[in-house]
Chains A and B, each alone.
Chain A
Amino acid sequence: MTVAGVVEHLALDVLAEGDLSTLVTGGYCSDLLSDVLAHAGGGDVWITHQRHMNVVAVAKLKEVAAVVIVRGAAPNEQMVERARAEGVNLLMSGESAFQAAGKLYRLLSG
């Protein structure tokens, strides 16, 4: 499953496009940056409520496949610009973290 596939199945908005052909191997759901740094894996889709610049830095460091911001809480243009510049796939879901994570889990284990 690629990021593009996840975008399609979860009906996500693409805010910044890095490489949508990146392979998705798992997911991680957390709003604590140190927790993501410690436990998220490369290839994970990171589901979060956080929407600020440091999220892009963490996403880049951990080489996550994509960041999904939930509840349709759009980040500011500065963050979107940073994601674009760093080549990070920045996505948005109108649903809750629980719903987005549930759908992603079913998709990846199905």
Chain B
Amino acid sequence: MSARDSLLHRRVFVLPAGNLEEAGSVSGDVRRELTAMGVEQDIIRRAGVVCFEGEMNIAMYSQGGRIILLVADDRVELLFSDRGPGIPDIELARTPGYSTAPDWAREMGFGAGMGIPNMERQSDRLEIRSRLDGGTVIRAVFKRGAE
């Protein structure tokens, strides 16, 4: 967030490793906080989906991480960071239908290869940085007042 004085709200959610059962709870909290702050409905819906997908990826693939929610006058941001294997080929991971999810996750209805494409589609900007055997950082930006 460049213009620091425009920051209205900052919240950090810590995600332990492999907590799939509870995954989805941060997206609920994010929705509640954005609603309480009077953020546009369209952004609340989109940020909820992006947050859920990011949460699931952290729960399924990493050794834990965190999600930071930032709210400013002109935008909402979600920053996902994890410690984990990293993404070897980010372009491939962005490809609809591509997934490295294990069988148990596929049986639960994950691993359709739609997670990152969904995150891209629902955000106004999505940046992915990853380091092998280090971790992954994803920044999702939602522009306010663009409706």
Contact = CB atoms under 8 A, between A and B. Distances in A.
Question: Are the chains A and B members of one assembly?
Answer: yes
B108 A50 contact: yes
A86 B49 CA distance: 17
Contacts of A56: 24
Contact of B52 (A35, A52, A61): A61
Interface in B104-120: 108-110, 112, 114-115, 118
Category for how many chain B residues contact A:
20 to 34
Contacts of B24: 53-54, 56-58, 61
Contacts, number: 58
Given A34-B114, A37-B118, A38-B121, A57 B27 contact: yes
Interface string B50-76: 001100100000000000000000000
A108 interface: no
A60 B24 CA distance: 10
12 contacts: A31-B109, A33-B108, A33-B109, A34-B110, A37-B53, A37-B118, A54-B24, A54-B108, A56-B24, A57-B23, A57-B25, A61-B31
